[in-house]
């Protein structure tokens, strides 16, 4: 049985979660500290690994390419491992309003801010492969394992006992006229999608994105959605002499993005503990799982399903093995998509 991808509670939409001053400081940081790398470049070693974290699967023997998954969306971190990386936005990270929201969302006693990041983009096509966010397990987490492995652990449904509970507050700032919303599947990938519509300025959702398929809606004028020369090493930065932005290859500007086509997403994530016992179990490491246990469990489960395969010497990087796991545990691609955004209205 594959996991049922449904969040612990329906996503809650709220407005104005950051103050004007907080937003200004966050934006200044994004402008000043770039250029920022593409999301894909930061999280994956190969296109096969990307495939393992999205929905859908490919025929055996098919070789995926970076271009299949690449999109001009760029990312930077504001906090990692419960540590704010920039003192000037510490109040945004250590945010009692947010901890309160996510405790209530889960009905939990405790929440601890864990990470904070931003995605920035100009015009961009929509994704046909919505994803769930990477989660952590007690003993196997982003500090010692690749994103795809934890994703596979969720999809298999075999490691729920060790899965860390999480919640996010995701906030958008986008004033463009075409698309730019948030598409999500709150009742599972085979059910009807829902959509948070742009333009939005400080609109946020409280959500468990590890258990809910989601993706950005296509954004901006379609003619601008793929800058010429875009590659996995392209980066994004603020324009030096305007309030706009630029996509660059090294020092070469391949696209100018006006401020009104700039979309900022702020992701704030917390660890959740239902009660003191659960917190203790995590802090004391009395019930952790190891990567060896994970692979032993996956291999035993696939054998029990009647699959025949060679056990790889390094399952962490063996692309044939990753592809086999993907085919075995894929929960199915979302079947129904919201309509593409209207462009005529913006002309």
The tokens describing 150, both together, are 């934890």
Rg, the chain, Cα only:
20
**Residue 215 beta carbon to Fe ion: minimum distance, rounded to whole angstroms:** 7
DSSP label of 191: S
**Where does the chain have alpha helices with state H?**
20-32, 39-43, 47-53, 66-69, 90-93, 96-106, 147-156, 276-284, 291-304, 319-329
**21 Cβ contact list (under 8 Å, min separation 6):** none
Residue among 240, 346, 343, 263 nearest 72 (CA): 263
Give the x-and-dash track for 120-159 against Fe ion (CB under 5 A). Answer: -------------x--------------------------
**128 Cβ contact list (under 8 Å, min separation 6):** 56, 333, 337
Residues 152 and 327 sit within 8 Å (Cβ to Cβ) = no
Helix (H, G, I), strand (E, B) or coil at 155: helix
**Residue 61 beta carbon to Fe ion: minimum distance, rounded to whole angstroms:** 29
Give the residue at shortest CB distance from Fe ion.
Answer: 133
Q: Which is nearer to Fe ion, 119 or 255 (CB)?
A: 119
Q: Which is nearer to Fe ion, 133 or 330 (CB)?
A: 133
Q: Which is nearer to Fe ion, 48 or 133 (CB)?
A: 133
Q: Which is nearer to Fe ion, 49 or 133 (CB)?
A: 133
**Residue 132 beta carbon to Fe ion: minimum distance, rounded to whole angstroms:** 7
The distance between the two most distant Cα atoms of the chain, rounded to a whole number of Å, is 62
Q: Which is nearer to Fe ion, 41 or 239 (CB)?
A: 41
Q: Which is nearer to Fe ion, 6 or 289 (CB)?
A: 6
- 238-277: contacts with Fe ion (CB under 5 A): none
Residues 233 and 207 sit within 8 Å (Cβ to Cβ) = no
**Residue 136 beta carbon to Fe ion: minimum distance, rounded to whole angstroms:** 15
The tokens describing 36, both together, are 């920022």
The tokens describing 61, both together, are 């023997």
**Residue 214 beta carbon to Fe ion: minimum distance, rounded to whole angstroms:** 6
Query: 199: burial class by Cβ within 10 Å (0-12, 13-18, 19+)?
Result: middle
278 interacts with Fe ion by CB under 5 A = no
**Residue 11 beta carbon to Fe ion: minimum distance, rounded to whole angstroms:** 13
**Residue 117 beta carbon to Fe ion: minimum distance, rounded to whole angstroms:** 10
Residues that bind Fe ion (CB under 5 A): 133
């Amino acid at each position: 049985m594959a996991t049922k991808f449904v969040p612990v509670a329906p996503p809650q939409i709220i407005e104005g979660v950051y103050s004007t001053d907080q937003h200004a400081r966050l934006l200044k940081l994004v402008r000043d500290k770039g250029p920022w790398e593409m999301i894909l470049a930061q999280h994956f070693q190969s296109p096969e690994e990307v495939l393992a974290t999205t929905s859908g699967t490919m025929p055996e023997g098919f070789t995926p390419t970076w271009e299949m998954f690449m999109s001009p969306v760029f990312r930077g971190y504001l906090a990692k491992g419960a540590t704010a990386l920039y003192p000037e936005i510490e109040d945004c990270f250590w945010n009692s309003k947010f901890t309160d929201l996510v405790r209530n969302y889960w009905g939990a006693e405790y929440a601890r801010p864990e990470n904070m990041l931003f995605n920035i983009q100009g015009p961009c096509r929509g994704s046909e492969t919505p994803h769930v966010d990477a989660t952590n397990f007690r003993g196997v987490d982003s500090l010692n394992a690749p994103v795809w492995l934890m994703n596979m652990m969720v999809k298999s449904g075999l490691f729920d006992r060790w899965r860390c509970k999480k919640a996010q507050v995701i906030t958008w700032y986008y004033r463009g006229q075409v698309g730019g919303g948030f598409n999500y599947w709150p009742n599972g990938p085979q059910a009807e999608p829902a959509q948070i519509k742009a333009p939005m300025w400080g609109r946020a959702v409280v959500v468990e994105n590890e258990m809910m398929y989601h993706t950005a809606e296509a954004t901006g004028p379609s003619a601008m959605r793929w800058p010429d020369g875009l590659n996995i090493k392209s980066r994004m930065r603020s324009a030096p002499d305007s309030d706009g932005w630029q996509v660059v290859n090294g020092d070469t500007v391949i696209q100018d993005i006006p401020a009104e086509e700039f979309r900022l997403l702020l992701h704030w994530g917390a660890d959740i503990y239902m009660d003191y016992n659960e917190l203790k179990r995590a802090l004391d490491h009395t019930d952790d799982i190891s990567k060896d246990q994970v692979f032993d469990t996956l291999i035993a489960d696939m054998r029990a399903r009647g699959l025949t395969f060679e056990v790889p010497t390094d399952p962490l990087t063996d692309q044939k093995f990753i592809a086999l796991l993907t085919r075995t545990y894929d929960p199915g691609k979302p079947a129904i998509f919201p309509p593409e955004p209207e462009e005529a209205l913006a002309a």
